[in-house]
Homo-oligomer: A and B are copies of this chain.
Amino acid sequence: MTSKQLLRRAGLVTLLTSAAAAPATTHGEPDMPRHKRHQGVAATHESAHAALRSVPLSAVRMGDGFWKARMERNRKAGIPRLLALLEEHGAVENFRVAAGLSSAERRGPYFSDSDLFKWMEGAAYVVHLYPDDPTAAELQRVVDDVVAAQCDDGYLNTFFIKDIADQRFRNLMAEHEFYCAGHLIHAACAHYRATGSTKLLDAARRYADYLCSVFGPDKRYGRSGHEELEAAMVELYRTTGDGKYLHFAGYLLDGLEFHNRSELRGHAVRQGYFCMGGADYYIETGDAQYWDTLTRLFDDLVRRKMYITGGMGAQQHHEAFGAAYQLPNATAYAETCAAISNVLWNRRMLLAEPNCRYADVLERALYNGVLSGVSLSGDEYFYVNPLASSGGHKRQPWFGCTCCPTNMVRTLASIPSYLYDVSDGGVWVHLYDNSTLSWQLPDGRALTLQQQTGYPWDGRVEMTVTPQAASEFSVFLRIPGWCRKARLEVNGKAVADVRCGTYKEIRREWKPGDTLALQMDMPAEIVESHPRVPENRGCVAIQRGPVVYCIESPDNPGLPIEDARLATASPAELSARHEPDLLGGVTVITGPGLAPAGVLDELPLYAPVGTYDRAARMREVRLRAIPYYAWANRGDSHMKIWLPLGSQ
C-alpha cells in the first residue's frame, strides 16, 4: 500500500482537487480538530453552509466516453507539450535562476510562475489517477526546482530576485505576487493529495505563513490585484487545519469589499476567481452576507452577462465584463480562463447549495466555453473564444500570456471531480458520462455507482447502484435545466414527479445491483436570447442537450456563413445524426436555411427599409451545424452560433 493510499484510507485526504472544496470540516475529521479552527466561526455555521462533500479524484474511474477521450489527450499530449514549452520559455529555469543554480537571465512575464504552478496542479491530478505516468517524474523534478527557489523567510517568487529582490510587493495591484502565491498553494494542496509528499505543501505553507506575517489588519495593507489567493488560503486551511489561513482569506476578501459588490464588472477572470474565493470562504464560515453577494452576482451573470457558451467577458478592453446584455459575438472576448473560472465558482456554489442552477451553468461552460478553448488534438488552445468569426482565428500551443493553456490542462485533468458528491442523505450525480464511483457515504457505508451512457449525444443514462450491503439512502440525480422532459425508472419501474432543472431524490433501500434508467429527451432545440441583447435580436441558436451548436464553413461549402439564416423556428424541422468519424465523433444537426442569392458586399450601409430583402433574394439552403466546441479544428474557417431567423 502506498503512502498515498494510506493517507486516503486514514481519512486524511478529505479534499481532492482544488476545484472540489468539500465541507469536510463540518464533520470533525482528524486533520482539522475543532480547537484549531478559525476562531470566529462556530462549527454549526460551517456545517449549515456546506451541503455536499466531494469525493476523492481517484474514487471516480472514467469509462470510455466523452470526457475520458479528452482527459487522455490532455495527459498524453497537452501536459507533456506544455511542460516542454514552459521549459523552453524559461518558466521552470526561472526557479533555478532564483535559487542561484543557473546563471541565465530570468525570462517571461512577471507572473510566469503562476503558469508553471497551474501546470503542476494539473500534473498532480494526472499523477493522482496515474501514479506511474511519466508525468510523475517530471512533476517531482519541477517540485524540486520550485522548492529550491524559496527564500529563507518563505518568500517564493522568481520575479523579485537579484537587483529587485528588495522590491517585493511594490505594486500588488499590477505585479500579481498574491496571484502567483495562490496558484502555488493550490498546486501544493493537489500535490500533497496526489502523492502524500509534503515537500511542496511545506514550501507553500511557509510562504503563506510569511504572507500572513507581513500583511493583515495591524500590519501592512495587502489586497490582490488579480484574485486567486483568497480561494487558495481557504484551501490551505482545509488541507492543514490552521484557521489563520481562513482568517487571512477573510482579510483579503474584506479588502476587496466583497459585501459591497452588486454586479459583475471589470476583468472577467479576476471576477470569477473573486467569486470562487468568496464561495470557498462562505462554505467554511457560513457568513450569510457572503451568500447574499454570491447569489446576487450569480443572478447578474445568468440574467445579463453570460454567453450562451458559459463564456464570460464581453470586451477585449481590460478583458472585462460589458454592461448588462452587452454580449457581442464576433468581438466577444470570452477568455478560456474566464469560462474556467465560471466552472470553479459554480462548483463551489453547488457544494454550498445543491441547486440545479449552479450545475446547469457549470455544465454549460464545461461543454462549450471551456471546451472550445482546446483543440481536438488536446494541445492547442484559444485565449479568446468568439461566438462568430470571419476567419483568422486559430488555436495555438502557447501565448505570450499563456494562462489559458495551463488553466486548461488542470481543468481537463480534474474532470472526474465534477461528477459526484455525497452528503449525509446519500449520493449525488451532477454530470453524466461513462464512469464508476467507488466511495462511501459520510457515515462510512461503501457504495459503487456505475453510469452507462452516450451522453452528451444521447439522453439515456443507465446506472447501477451497488451498496456494500442493502441499506437506505438517497440517490440524487440532476435533471438538467436544458431538458424539457425526462423519465426515470428504478429497477424498470417508473418514478413519478421527475422535474427538469432540479435534483430528483430517490430514497429507498438500495440493494446491490439496483438499476436506475434516466431518459432525458434530447431533441435539437432552437433557443433565443433576451430581447435586450442587441446582437442577438431576431436570431436563434441551436442547442442539443448541453451542447451549443454553430455553423462552420467546412461543413457548409459555398455558403456565406456571415449571411446565412435559419429558415424555421420549429425544432421539429431539424435533424440530428451522430457522425462517429467527424471531429472525434459528434452529433451533427441539419436544418433548412436561407442564404442570399445576391452579393451583399456592395450594398449601402443604410437604405430605406426593405432595400436589403429585395436585394438579397434569399435562396433555400441546407445548414449543417456542429458543436461549437469543435470549431476551428479544420484550418481557417468562418463560423457563427447565432443565426438570424427567417427572411428578415
Residues of A within 8 A of B (CB): 302-304, 306, 308, 315-317, 322-323, 326, 328-331, 388, 390, 484, 525-535, 537-541, 562-563, 569, 600-612, 616, 644-645, 648
Give the residues in chain B near A562, CB-CB below 8 Å.
532
CA distance A596 to B604 in the complex (A): 32
> Is A605 touching B531 in the complex (CB atoms < 8 A)?
no
> Is B530 touching A609 in the complex (CB atoms < 8 A)?
no
> Is B532 touching A535 in the complex (CB atoms < 8 A)?
no
- Knowing A317-B316, A331-B322, say if A531 contacts B609 (CB, 8 Å): no
> A537 touches which one: B328, B525, B539 (CB < 8 A)?
B539
> Is A538 touching B537 in the complex (CB atoms < 8 A)?
yes
- Knowing A317-B317, A563-B531, A616-B531, say if A302 contacts B538 (CB, 8 Å): no
Minimal beta-carbon separation of A553 from chain B (angstroms): 16
Give the residues in chain B near A569, CB-CB below 8 Å.
609-610
- Knowing A608-B528, A648-B538, say if A328 contacts B330 (CB, 8 Å): no
Give the residues in chain B near A537, CB-CB below 8 Å.
535, 537-539, 644, 648
> Is A529 touching B610 in the complex (CB atoms < 8 A)?
no
How many copies of this chain? 2
CA distance A562 to B531 in the complex (A): 9
- Knowing A323-B330, A330-B326, A539-B537, say if A608 contacts B532 (CB, 8 Å): no
CA distance A308 to B609 in the complex (A): 14
CA distance A600 to B603 in the complex (A): 35
CA distance A366 to B355 in the complex (A): 55
Residue of A328, A331, A563, A644 ringed by the most chain B CB atoms within 10 A: A331
CA distance A525 to B607 in the complex (A): 10
CA distance A604 to B326 in the complex (A): 15
> A607 touches which one: B527, B601, B605, B644 (CB < 8 A)?
B527
Minimal beta-carbon separation of A3 from chain B (angstroms): 48
Give the residues in chain B near A609, CB-CB below 8 Å.
526-528, 540, 569, 645
Give the residues in chain B near A533, CB-CB below 8 Å.
605
Minimal beta-carbon separation of A502 from chain B (angstroms): 16
Give the residues in chain B near A302, CB-CB below 8 Å.
604-605
Closest 5 CB pairs of A and B: A538-B538, A317-B317, A534-B535, A526-B609, A528-B609
Residue of B whose beta carbon sits closest to that of A616: B531
Residue of B whose beta carbon sits closest to that of A570: B609
Give the residues in chain B near A304, CB-CB below 8 Å.
605
CA distance A390 to B304 in the complex (A): 14
> Is B331 touching A326 in the complex (CB atoms < 8 A)?
yes
> Is B303 touching A528 in the complex (CB atoms < 8 A)?
no
Residue of B whose beta carbon sits closest to that of A602: B303
Other than the given A323-B390, A532-B562, A535-B535, 7 more pairs (CB < 8 A) read A303-B601, A529-B606, A530-B606, A531-B563, A534-B534, A534-B535, A538-B648
> A648 touches which one: B534, B607, B648 (CB < 8 A)?
B648
> A329 touches which one: B330, B484, B534 (CB < 8 A)?
B534
Residue of B whose beta carbon sits closest to that of A364: B606
CA distance A386 to B589 in the complex (A): 39
Minimal beta-carbon separation of A314 from chain B (angstroms): 9
CA distance A25 to B303 in the complex (A): 63
Give the residues in chain B near A528, CB-CB below 8 Å.
606-612
What are 8 A-B contacts with C-beta separation under 8 Å?
A315-B317, A317-B317, A328-B535, A530-B604, A530-B605, A530-B606, A531-B612, A537-B537
Give the residues in chain B near A525, CB-CB below 8 Å.
608
CA distance A304 to B600 in the complex (A): 11
Give the residues in chain B near A645, CB-CB below 8 Å.
609
CA distance A329 to B322 in the complex (A): 13
Minimal beta-carbon separation of A636 from chain B (angstroms): 16
CA distance A532 to B616 in the complex (A): 12
Minimal beta-carbon separation of A332 from chain B (angstroms): 11
Minimal beta-carbon separation of A531 from chain B (angstroms): 5
> A606 touches which one: B308, B322, B608 (CB < 8 A)?
B308
Give the residues in chain B near A317, CB-CB below 8 Å.
315-317
CA distance A87 to B616 in the complex (A): 57
Minimal beta-carbon separation of A245 from chain B (angstroms): 36
CA distance A637 to B62 in the complex (A): 56
Give the residues in chain B near A308, CB-CB below 8 Å.
605-606
Give the residues in chain B near A608, CB-CB below 8 Å.
484, 525-528
CA distance A529 to B610 in the complex (A): 10
Give the residues in chain B near A530, CB-CB below 8 Å.
600, 603-606, 612
> A328 touches which one: B328, B532, B610 (CB < 8 A)?
B328
